[in-house]
Amino acid sequence: MEDSTGSNPQSLGFTEKLKSWLSWSWTYVCFVWFGMVLIMIYVLWSPLKLQETLTSASVFLNTLTPKFYVALTGTSSLISGLILIFEWWYFRKYGTSFIEQVSVSHLRPLLGGVESSSTTGLFSSVNGEAEPRPSVSECKVWRNPLNLFRGAEYNRYTWVTGKEPLTYYDMNLSAQDHQTFFTGDTQQLRPEDAVMQKAWRERNPQARIRAAYQAIEMNQECAAAYVLLAEEEATTITEAERLFKKALSFAGKDINLLVYIKRRLAMCARKLGRIKEAVKMMRDLMKEFPLLGMLNIHENLLEALLELQAYADVQAVLAKYDDISLPKSATICYTSALLKARAVSDKFSPEAASRRGLSTAEMNAVEAIHRAVEFNPHVPKYLLEMKSLILPPEHILKRGDSEAVAYAFFHLQHWKRAEGALNLLHCTWEGTFRIIPYPLEKGHLFYPYPGCTETADRELLPSFHEVSVYPKKELPFFILFTAGLCSFTAMLAMLTHQFPELMGVFAKAFFSTLFAPLGFFADKMESFMPSSFWHQLTRI
């Protein structure tokens, strides 16, 4: 075992050297191959009667009518146009060029290239040294702390618009969450628990509701069944609250059930206008279960306190959770920016600020906005109503468009209530992108922006929503190339059709200029090498 492990580094070193040598050699193989082709053409010029072939070809080309060239260039323009349309469609749907993707996937490994997407990766630390990126996935999907009720809110949207606000991927994640939350503490499931496990997995909402009633028939005190009915069958928040209270009376000592039901009851109170009651319930829940910070109950509390305009209490919550050791969210970053902007926004004027400069308080507000925008650059367009809002999904991707939709859906009213806050955001948010290094290998205050957010957001957000992409992707080279080729060949077809004689003269001049270097090379080779050498070589 020791010998085998000791020989591995040597074999790996030899493989790496061989691979690097092959990669280096490819740089010069093209030049060598081109030179060999020229020499071969010259050597076989007489045996293969290439001169006669070229003469006959030129005679044949001279006999062709201008209609042939019009058809040729028109066909080339049509084909390149079809390729352009396909490339554009593929880029709009998948965010990359099809030709480029195939080239990178199949040709780059053959040429000794290194894959661009690495599982580990590096990022620069504060002192400029390279450090390994954390092993936690950058594109982990989180449950939306403020997710709506399916029956009372999402289904009503579907009844009015005929559109489905939730994707199958999002609902499938919720089903997995519910199975995990409501399995129970005992390993041995009761019959009604087994029915509920199957109910959460059902794709049809009516099938889930029927299974919940079946579980209640087995056991009138099945709390999970009442939770499902409150989420999906109740058509109003009041009805959902009644069912959640019934579920709470049967929850017993199941911590997962207790936390889930109490949180949803607090959200019902918030939606029904009993905001102080909702705040008290959330504070009691956080005090009773302090170790469940991963559920982000404090984000529900922040939104309720903002509705009460209890800004001092909001600042106290931020002081506890806006810590460098804790994971950030758009709610934390943008609420912090809102509080600092609120202190100066009512008197802020961009003209006055440009004349006298920013005060300390204004500078703090601008820096807080830049910090928030760096964390999630999608939010400002929703707050400034440059993009239309949709119902938030049940799961979000931090720093992604789904998180931006969820934050703006609940917090836009709080920004509007603070006089001048949106004006300050409008004047300063784009300045963030001048601070962030580009390309985005490095971040300024946070880790570099992950490149996988677009794919995950497309799975979480409905198809009728235009997903916000950051950074904006430039058009791939092959789209620009096919667009230029299509336009150029179409122009040639039109000019050949309108001016056939003039285009014929131009074509002859172009090809004579193109092949002039080849004739010059042949003349030099013939003057440099003795004629007897070429004669013997052709005989061989």
Confidence of residue 114 (pLDDT cuts 50, 70, 90): very low
Tell me, letter by letter, the H, E, C secondary structure of 35-61: HHHHHHHHHCCCCCCHHHHHHHHHHHH
The pair of structure tokens assigned to 104 is: 């990178």
Please tell me which residue, 436 or 259, carries the higher pLDDT value. 259
> What is the C-alpha separation between 219 and 225, in angstroms, rounded?
10
Q: Are 411 and 335 in contact (CB under 8 A)?
A: yes
> What is the C-alpha separation between 407 and 372, in angstroms, rounded?
12
Q: What percent of the chain has pLDDT over 90?
A: 29
SS3 275: helix
- In this model, does residue 490 exceed pLDDT 70? yes
- In this model, does residue 499 exceed pLDDT 70? yes
Confidence of residue 528 (pLDDT cuts 50, 70, 90): low
The pair of structure tokens assigned to 97 is: 């060029």
Q: What percent of the chain has pLDDT over 70?
A: 69
> What is the C-alpha separation between 398 and 412, in angstroms, rounded?
18
Own/partner contacts of 128-135, CB < 8 Å, gap of 24 or more, are 133/447, 134/447
Q: Which of the residue ranges 25-39, 107-121, 228-242, 516-530 has the most confident prediction, judged by mean pLDDT?
A: 228-242
The pLDDT of residue 475 is 61
| Count of all residues that appear for the chain in the document | 540
Model confidence pLDDT, tens digit, residues 315-349:
999 988 877 666 788 999 999 999 999 888 888 77
- HSE (CB half, 13 Å, CA atoms) of 412? 17
The pLDDT of residue 108 is 54
Confidence of residue 74 (pLDDT cuts 50, 70, 90): confident
Model confidence pLDDT, tens digit, residues 438-448:
544 455 556 66
Model confidence pLDDT, tens digit, residues 249-263:
888 788 888 899 999
Q: 49 CB contacts (<8 Å, ≥6 apart)? A: none
Give the sign of the dihedral formed by CA 339, CA 340, CA 341, CA 346: positive
Helix axes of 191-201 and 205-218: crossing angle, nearest 10 degrees? 170
Q: What is the mean pLDDT of residues 105-112?
A: 55
